[in-house]
Structure 1
Amino acid sequence: MRARFEEIDWQPTPMGEISLRRRADPSSGEQVYEVKLGDEFLMSSMFTAGEIALARLGLAQAAGGELDVVVGGLGLGYTADAVLDDTRVRSLTVVEALGEVIGWHERGLVPLGERLAEDARCRFVHGDFFAMATHPDGLDPDTAGRRFHAVLLDVDHSPEHVLHPSHASLYRPEGLRALAERLYPGGVFALWSNDPPEERFSAVLAEVFAESEARVVTFANPLQEGTATNTVYVARR
């Protein structure tokens, strides 16, 4: 019989102590996976609609018969998994700052780990997305300056609430211009946010990209016996 609560892994990292936990949901009995960084909850398998919508909304705007895609932030893998559901995707590069998170997937400690690790289109890259996105060498450590049809980012809580101060510069015009250079013409940048649409960030996107919009994603929140929302920003070069 599986325990009602289990800490599957705990590791010290440069960003703080990260832990992977599994618990039984008291109402449904389903197994829920959760990730904490220090005392802060980063993600839960109970709430994946926003991560999935990030992939679907972003790729819906992407031009091209075959797509090369980057996902910034691996987490529990729901954005990457939704990307691989799109049959147009030729390659997926997932850039993750914490090698411990990549290890969860490669060791099969999370539900989607084996699928992602075994899909020949998918590659995990241990690196700092924010530094790579603004560096001339770009997001593929094997091919300097490589361009992509879509870059999907899910790391920070929002452009205003970042996990590390070094991330903040990406959300300014100069950072987004550097990121746009990683895209083919017509390529898409999409961003997940836990906050409602922010007028200031929408204005920055409009300054840098030819087209941009903020889409609100609504989903059930059984913990509050109601609904909750995320925001997905989608911008085209």
Structure 2
Amino acid sequence: MPVTLDRREGPYGEVVLRRRDEHFEIIANGTFLMDTSDGRSERLLVDAALRALGGTPGARPPGDDRTPVDRTAGGGLAPGRAGARPSVLIGGLGVGFSLAHAAADPAWGRIAVVEREQAIIDWHREGPLAALSAAALSDPRTVLLHTDLVAYVRDPDVTDTYDALCLDIDNGPDWTVTEGNDGLYSPSGLAACARRLNPGGVLAVWSARPSADFETSLRNAGFSGVRTEEVPVARGVPDVVHLGVRPA
């Protein structure tokens, strides 16, 4: 039986952290989001984006891998620039698999992670999830942004751009956690995501099931190279990562 470790009421509803045997689960408004039992699809989300940029997961960057990384707003490194490491925006923090995987890969430059729930940030900074993410959060390339992802990508005053957007804030484009998240997958939301990407940048969206309609939405929004990568699961429909490239 699961054991509830923490329960919070926030501006977006209830968030719960549970432990089931040796694993942790995050529940939002009664909907299961994710747990620590696997993490393959969260890692594929990051690796698929890097491969779409022409990189190789785990590869050393050109030249000295201690090259300083620009951590200022908009400090992303454009794809294809000699000696540059691509920047990535991860939304959200979740159980930390995507962030930890990106931070463990020297191929990435600036790593920004957006999380709107203070409870989840607390669980990573000083709670049970710190064991998964402490090293990644202390990595000098990492910037934690406590804000709503949908608002962040739409904010006209935000000037940050990235080479990759790796989004995992819902169970998929057709199965959102809160009603307001629907706007992220709408034509205007995808246009906002494109504005957050450098030319040639990659949008990668995790989903618990494939969505042919979302592939069509990506193409209609002007993304090229649209495709879906599957992640086999023990039972049922595979998890997937939807990918699209902002034309250069």
- 2:172 is matched with 158
Take 2:142 and 2:188, find their aligned partners in 1: how far apart are those partners? 29
Cα pair 2:7 2:15 within 8 Å, conserved = yes
Q: Secondary structure at the match of 2:160?
A: coil
Letter in 2 for 1:160: D
CA, structure 1 residues 49+228, in 2 after alignment: closer, same or farther (shift >3 Å)? farther
1:234 aligns to 2:231 (yes or no): no
Q: What is the number of equivalent residue pairs in this alignment?
A: 216
Cα pair 2:136 2:142 within 8 Å, conserved = yes
Q: TM-score, normalised by structure 2?
A: 0.81
Q: Secondary structure at the match of 1:86?
A: coil
1:212 aligns to 2:226 (yes or no): yes
Which of residues 61, 85, 91 is equivalent to 1:72? Answer: 91
1:119 aligns to 2:139 (yes or no): yes
1:12 aligns to 2:22 (yes or no): no
1:170 aligns to 2:184 (yes or no): yes
TM-superposed CA distance for 1:51, in Å, is 0.9
Take 2:27 and 2:102, find their aligned partners in 1: how far apart are those partners? 24
Letter in 1 for 2:103: L
Which of residues 19, 24, 43 is equivalent to 2:34? Answer: 43
Letter in 2 for 1:81: A
Q: Bigger CA drift: 227-236 or 180-189?
A: 227-236
Take 2:20 and 2:188, find their aligned partners in 1: how far apart are those partners? 42
Q: Secondary structure at the match of 2:183?
A: helix
Q: Secondary structure at the match of 2:219?
A: helix
TM-superposed CA distance for 1:58, in Å, is 1.0
Take 2:115 and 2:88, find their aligned partners in 1: how far apart are those partners? 14
Letter in 1 for 2:37: M
- 1:142 is matched with none
Q: Which ranges of structure 2 fall in alignment gaps of 5 or more residues?
A: 54-78
Residue identity over aligned pairs, in percent, reads 31
- 2:56 is matched with none
1:21 aligns to 2:18 (yes or no): yes
What's the Cα RMSD here?
Answer: 1.7
Q: Which ranges of structure 1 fall in alignment gaps of 5 or more residues?
A: 25-30, 139-144
Q: TM-score, normalised by structure 1?
A: 0.85
Higher strand share: 1
- 2:73 is matched with none
Take 2:239 and 2:122, find their aligned partners in 1: how far apart are those partners? 28
Take 1:12 and 1:127, find their aligned partners in 2: how far apart are those partners? 16
Which of residues 91, 101, 126 is equivalent to 1:107? Answer: 126
Take 1:5 and 1:178, find their aligned partners in 2: how far apart are those partners? 39
